[in-house]
Structure 1
């Protein structure tokens, strides 16, 4: 099993550590969203 973790959200698509980045990461199918 591979666990997909989005550090600071989907920071390639939206600014790091923003709600937009976290929502995009979830839409991309990550298992965990981690923030600083």
Structure 2
């Protein structure tokens, strides 16, 4: 049970991370890199 839960959490984190990268790529493509203050 713990293994399943851990895997699910890991999957969720991976999905959110991938989504973040995807959004950042779109933002950069649109030329709005200023939204990230780095």
> Could you say which structure has the higher helix fraction?
2
Report which of the two has the higher share of strand.
Answer: 1
TM-score by length of 2: 0.36
Q: Pick 1 or 2: higher relative contact order, CA cutoff 8 A, min separation 6.
A: 1
Tell me the TM-score normalised to structure 1 length. Answer: 0.37
